[in-house]
Amino acid sequence: MSKPHIIAIPLPAQGHVMPLMEFSQCLAHHGFRVTFVNTETIHKKIVNAMANENHIRHDHVHLVSIPDGLETEEDRNGPGVLSEAIQAVLHQNLEEIIEKINKEEDEKITCLIADESCGWALEVAQKMKIVKVAAFWPAAAATLVLNFCIPNLVHEGIIDDEGTVLKSQMVQLAPKMPMIKSANFVWACADVSVRKILFHFLERANKNAKLVDWLVCNSAYEIEPTAIALEPQILPIGPLLASSRLGNSAGSLWPTDSTCLKWLDEQPPCSVIYVAFGSTALFNQTQFHELALALELSNKPFLWVVRPDISDSIPYPEGYKERVGSKGLMVGWAPQQKVLAHPSIACFLSHCGWNSTIEGVSNGVPFLCWPYFADQFINESYIRDVWNVGLGFDKNESGIITRGEIKKKVEHLLGDEVFKARASKLKEMAVATIKEGGQSNKIFKKFIEWIKS
């Protein structure tokens, strides 16, 4: 008898590809075949990133690619451009791939799992008569609950029906939920034309999410009890981490520099500041220099991920690398889960993307929060206000986080043992839920049974 065949479709962005890839690896580990569909650009980056690493790919996760409809030189980091292209082009291309696969009798797709943001893919599943359809949410349940609350926000006059913020206020959907400024809503982070595209993209996705059999989320009851209670349709199966299955992370868009692990071995326990801002955050030269000088002033060893697209365009302060010497290490991209699990790490200075957030939480690491856009402000509120495992920064009147402010918060965080103690307790809960008998583990098993049934 042939194995059930799953087709998985992420939104083409680092924070969406990695967790769905991890979920696919877990499903493959349980005997499923998975065809993982990326856009051509993302596919090339992943294959390139994996080329110099002697791991992956699980025999049953097959990577395929489809065109995204954009010209080679077009900027794919712009959420508006990408959202429009996705809806216009990928729909047709996905249909063609499914038709091709289904021609082979023992290859037929039995289940489609799409990123919840890819509402168009759920529509394709319906059209192609794929019986089992699931949506996967790669971020915090609280972010999805906020998206589902769009009609209420319109009704209350906080936003209009194009997503424009009408009232500047703090929004909290329930006690023990993150607080968020209305100006920081996920779709409100762009200019007017992009905002409208993003907003209607989300509305379409939310509508389609109500039609699926399963809506699984890379989170856990233990870390988001209120959000999940507010929207029982969201079923947590996380945290999904390669380290949990003793594997290597897959789906990175940048080649990782694993030499930093040897450098970490040489540092004292709980001494290193780990600094990483994900795959899209950008800096102007002033802010980049303030951060660089703050790390130098901290007098602590630090590991700083400076992506090639940043280091190629902004120089370090004059004489910086010579002054810092072996005290600081800058790398283009790091094997983050292994870094955060390393005993020498003292804290994580992060953009608060959800993957980074749960990787830090799952390793009991306290945070310094530097959110950039989208859902990162909700995650920052969890870290600072709900879980109390980190601190944020205040900007000066020019919108810059100064070296003095960074140094002050580093000293505060590392000088207060309570942050580490709370982070360790949160880690215990996050780790327990994915083990045998844990809540996320039970839901994951039911999901597997559903696909096989």
Average of pLDDT values for 335-361? Answer: 97
Residue 437 maps to a domain: no
Residue 167 maps to a domain: no
Residue 125 maps to a domain: yes
Q: Are residues 289 and 392 in the same domain?
A: yes
Q: Are residues 228 and 325 in the same domain?
A: no
Q: Are residues 369 and 237 in the same domain?
A: no
Instruction: Render pLDDT for 142-182 as a digit per residue (tens, 0 to 9).
Output: 999 999 999 999 999 999 999 999 999 999 999 999 999 99
For residue 79, give its domain range.
5-139+202-248
Q: Are residues 71 and 212 in the same domain?
A: yes
Measured distance CA(252)–CA(279) in Å, rounded: 9
pLDDT of residue 54: 47
| Lowest-pLDDT choice from 31-45, 51-65, 97-111 | 51-65
Average of pLDDT values for 437-450? Answer: 97
pLDDT of residue 149: 95
Q: Are residues 23 and 115 in the same domain?
A: yes
Residue 181 maps to a domain: no
Q: Are residues 282 and 417 in the same domain?
A: yes
Q: Are residues 333 and 352 in the same domain?
A: yes
Burial 432-444 (b: 16+ CB within 10 A, else e): ebbeeebbbeebb
Nearest-Å Rg of the Cα atoms of the chain is: 22
Residue 440 maps to a domain: no
pLDDT of residue 58: 47
Measured distance CA(115)–CA(141) in Å, rounded: 14
Instruction: Write out the H or E segment, with its range, that includes residue 272.
Output: strand 272-276
Measured distance CA(280)–CA(15) in Å, rounded: 10
Average of pLDDT values for 81-95? Answer: 71
pLDDT of residue 310: 86
Q: Are residues 219 and 313 in the same domain?
A: no
Measured distance CA(358)–CA(388) in Å, rounded: 14
| Lowest-pLDDT choice from 11-20, 220-229, 266-275, 319-328 | 11-20
Average of pLDDT values for 22-49? Answer: 91
pLDDT of residue 269: 98
Q: Are residues 370 and 230 in the same domain?
A: no
pLDDT-based confidence at residue 91 (cuts at 50, 70, 90): confident
Measured distance CA(387)–CA(393) in Å, rounded: 17
Instruction: Please report, for the domain that includes residue 323, its CATH number.
Output: 3.40.50.2000
pLDDT of residue 221: 97
End-to-end Cα, the chain, rounded Å: 14
Average of pLDDT values for 429-439? Answer: 96
Q: Are residues 364 and 397 in the same domain?
A: yes
pLDDT of residue 87: 63
Judged against a pLDDT cut of 70, whether residue 77 lies above it is answered with no
pLDDT-based confidence at residue 123 (cuts at 50, 70, 90): confident
Rounded to 10°, the helix 119-127/91-102 angle is 40
Judged against a pLDDT cut of 50, whether residue 36 lies above it is answered with yes
Q: Are strands 111-115 and 170-171 parallel, antiparallel or unpaired?
A: unpaired
Contacts of 196 (CB under 8 A, 6+ apart): 162, 163
Percentage of residues of the chain with pLDDT beyond 70: 93
pLDDT-based confidence at residue 84 (cuts at 50, 70, 90): low
Q: Are residues 210 and 322 in the same domain?
A: no
Residue 170 maps to a domain: no
* Structural domains of the chain, count: 2
Q: Are residues 300 and 215 in the same domain?
A: no
Q: Side-chain half-sphere of 202: how many Cα atoms within 13 Å?
A: 25
pLDDT of residue 307: 92
pLDDT of residue 55: 47
> Are the C-beta atoms of 42 and 71 separated by less than 8 Å?
no
Residue 154 maps to a domain: no
